[in-house]
Amino acid sequence: GAGVSQSPSNKVTEKGKDVELRCDPISGHTALYWYRQSLGQGLEFLIYFQGNSAPDKSGLPSDRFSAERTGGSVSTLTIQRTQQEDSAVYLCASSPGVGDTEAFFGQGTRLTVV
């Protein structure tokens, strides 16, 4: 596609429910990143994919968070048993994967846990 696409754009869920957030990176980009941004804050790194593998999962805040990437393209971030502190904007970015100096971000998914 022309840019990084994320869905849904907004998600309201009840505490304790599971949610899935989707990211479609720019076609041909091998590197994919998930970040989380709380209101008025910077971006917090969650996980990085190179192809289908995740060499860096160091930012996942707990074992309730997981992510996968299939076919070297679409990625899904899953949050199980959501908590109110999970409320944030979840941003996905992609980059070509070689000699990267720029990451291209999607518009994000605003998650609200009530």
Residues in contact with another protein by the rule CB under 8 A: 4, 31, 33, 35, 40-45, 48, 50, 55-56, 59, 91, 93, 95, 97, 100-108
Radius of gyration of the chain (CA): 13
Nearest distance in Å: CB 31, another protein: 6
Q: Tell me which amino acid residue 28 is.
A: G
Smallest distance, another protein to C-beta of residue 51, A = 12
Strand partners, 13: 113
The CA distances from residue 68 to 65, 72, 73, 78, 102, in Å, are: 11, 10, 10, 9, 22
State the minimum distance, in angstroms, from the CB of residue 69 to another protein: 14
13 or 97: CB nearest another protein: 97
